Structure 1
Amino acid sequence: MDDLTSGTRDKRGNWRPNDAIENAPVFVWPIRPMKFLRWLPSYFLPWNIIFFAISAVFWFLLTPSREALETIEWGWVIYLFARNSAIVILFYGALELRLYVKRRQGTHFKYNGKFPSEHPSDVFMFKSQNVDNIIRTFGTGLPIWTAYEVGMLWAWANGWGPWATFSEHPIWLICFGLILPILHEFHFYCIHRLIHIPVLYKWIHSVHHNSVNPSPWSSLSMHPVEHLLYWSGSLIHLVLPSHPLLMIYHLNIAGTGAVVGHVGFDKIETGEDGAFDTHAYAHYLHHKYFEVNYADGMMPLDRWMGTWHDGSKAGDKIMQDRFRKKKEKANARKGEA
């Protein structure tokens, strides 16, 4: 495919799409039903349907029995850790292998024209972004993901929490499952703004932002405190009536789904003339500019809060004007002091 039919590449080899990013036509007034219906398939495809399918396999085939879950034992805890690790290795590994190791599509649709492996840096362990990211993913990311899952499965098995069944509450559980990606993004926005407070950014979130040019393994490369906050959104299943399948789906949206914003490519080619959208650009811009797009672009939270960047040149100007005003205010405060 010719990526220049839908985007432009600058002198540094960085690619940007021609079309500006749009928030989902959900939180708008007046309601635009036709635009909503045209957008709706992209809410499910390709990612959310994949994450739900993974979760269904996990729940129906790869989760211990309720009797086993009643008592926390190392055997099934390690088993869940291995199961979660396997999906991350398969999912992240496949994208990394295709796009960054074998480079099957070169820099077609790649936002940053450089590949991290070609640019070692002292900010990473062993000067390697991938090595550093993998160590952090398996060192604290997956253990904390699994710890949340272990705690909630144990609570379900022992009757702790407002758990429900699909036979008794089908409409509620289906609706709850449908909005889980939205709930995840709202929670992500809230904790993301929190850890951009200067002191928290310096000691916690800067670890993730070391990957200015993110790749799949950057997805869960975080400080342990950020991991704890990141998966805390799943605790809603101990507050609202839910089902373990939906809880596992929620964890997968956050865990397996973290790769969506870090894949580094706007489209993944499936042949000479085929490709599918990654929806990665909004979060890539956050890694590039740091103080924009704290949400993932589906909800208009950044637009409401004045931190939205739609990827266009007009968006660049709005961002630069905001940064300039922020700098002027900071200088004025220094002058008064």
Structure 2
Amino acid sequence: MPTERVPEPAPRSKWNYHPELPLADKSIFAWPPDFGFLARWFARNWLSLSERVLLLLISIAAWYFLYPGLEDARTFAPGWIIQTWLVNMGLMLAVAGSLHWYFYIRRGQGKKLKFDHRDMTSGSRTFAFKNQVHDNMFWSLGSGVLFWTGFQVVTWWAMANGYLPTTSFTANPIWFLAFFVLVPIWSAFHFYWVHRLLHVPFFYRHFHSLHHRNVSVGPWSGASMHPVEHLLYFSSVLIHVVAASHPLHVIYHLHYQALGAAMTHTGYEDLLIRDKRRLALGTFYHQLHHRFFECNYGNQEMPWDRWFGTFHDGSDEATRVIRERKQRMHAAVR
């Protein structure tokens, strides 16, 4: 992990902080490939305490100590299903709750590396209970944990009954390990196209607008979605229908979707310990999407935003282009 000193807040008034602009094209699929960049990308994500490694460690611990065994999943029985739901509820409370406590209640690093000047909203009719945090918790813990658990339960049941292709470390160690690396890449691919669908005016107005009420985001914002969006978002796990996997892959995949969303929506770029960056969290790339809406539908690892003209690099020129594009889209809908 990088340990450079924290830069001063951005001088421009519309952001509290932003990285160096314009954002560079850092896609791992850039051509011709930059093998030095790919090696650094792999080391940063998998050879240090990154979000992905942390979620994998949580997944391993949950698989061995918290979740029911796969043999229990051969039939749909209340016991193991409720246990799975309770574990997922506890994990969401622990991860999103601890991040919210540290950044927004304890104010553990003030506004250092916080993208937006604003904090969570209260007293606004925009949100249920007139409170952004309570609204976000309602949707994350209610609908979010429910759909997370639903996909997990059905996938495990299908695995336990031999309806899905399975593997293990002893049967295929290379694929077993490689699948953990591929899960976030597949998730990014799936997220981009589902996200584009959700920005079609009908789907945006009826479903996705609930998530986009969060212009200034916090940990509870990540999984705060309409139930229809949760259904589409967690459908990423359907890759296990065709790709041989282990229950641990399914756990990690769903943790990456659910708990990872809380981590990447903290509103801060990194967790600081003694004024040094120790854990990468949010990205300015996605923060730009929450500010300008019709841009950066995916993430920086995938090239889709660049290929389809929806990449916002944080510059004033990109803002102008995106606003003109939004005007054309709204005019076409009228």
Task: Give TM-score scaled by structure 1 length.
Answer: 0.91
What does residue range 80-229 of structure 1 map to in structure 2 within 5 Å? 80-117=84-121, 119-229=122-232
Alignment correspondent of 2:323:
323
Contact map agreement 2:294 2:326 (CA 8 A) in 1: no
Alignment correspondent of 2:20:
18
Task: Deviation per CA, 1:266-315: give whole Å up to 9, x if none.
Answer: 2221114454432421111111110111002221210111111122x2xx
Amino acid paired to 1:247:
V
Alignment correspondent of 1:285:
288
SS at match of 1:320: helix
Alignment RMSD, CA only? 2.2
d(CA) in 1 for partners of 2:210, 2:27: 34
Task: Deviation per CA, 1:238-270: give whole Å up to 9, x if none.
Answer: 112111111111111101101233110122211
Amino acid paired to 1:240:
A
What does residue range 192-271 of structure 1 map to in structure 2 within 5 Å? 192-271=195-274
Alignment correspondent of 1:28:
30
d(CA) in 1 for partners of 2:14, 2:233: 34
Amino acid paired to 2:259:
T
Count residues in correspondence: 329
Contact map agreement 1:25 1:36 (CA 8 A) in 2: no
Percent identical residues: 35
d(CA) in 2 for partners of 1:212, 1:271: 29
Task: State which structure, 1 or 2, has the greater radius of gyration over its C-alpha atoms.
Answer: 1
Task: Deviation per CA, 1:151-170: give whole Å up to 9, x if none.
Answer: 01111111111112221222
Aligned counterpart in structure 2 of residue 58 of structure 1, from 47, 59, 62: 62
SS at match of 2:10: strand
Contact map agreement 2:74 2:161 (CA 8 A) in 1: yes
Amino acid paired to 2:33:
I
d(CA) in 1 for partners of 2:88, 2:136: 17
Task: Give TM-score scaled by structure 2 length.
Answer: 0.91
d(CA) in 2 for partners of 1:325, 1:66: 49
SS at match of 2:167: coil
Task: Deviation per CA, 1:172-192: give whole Å up to 9, x if none.
Answer: 222222111000010011100
How much has 1:233 moved relative to structure 2?
A: 0.7
SS at match of 1:255: helix
Task: Deviation per CA, 1:314-334: give whole Å up to 9, x if none.
Answer: xx3123124325636876x79
How much has 1:106 moved relative to structure 2?
A: 1.4
Alignment correspondent of 1:38:
40
d(CA) in 2 for partners of 1:210, 1:159: 42
How much has 1:89 moved relative to structure 2?
A: 1.0
How much has 1:207 moved relative to structure 2?
A: 0.4
Change (3 A) 1:37 1:213: same
How much has 1:66 moved relative to structure 2?
A: 3.1
d(CA) in 2 for partners of 1:174, 1:189: 25
Point out the more displaced range, 258-267 or 283-292.
258-267
Amino acid paired to 1:124:
F
SS at match of 1:268: strand
Structure 2 stretches of 5 or more lacking a match? none
Alignment correspondent of 1:70:
74
d(CA) in 1 for partners of 2:255, 2:106: 27
d(CA) in 2 for partners of 1:25, 1:239: 26
How much has 1:204 moved relative to structure 2?
A: 0.3
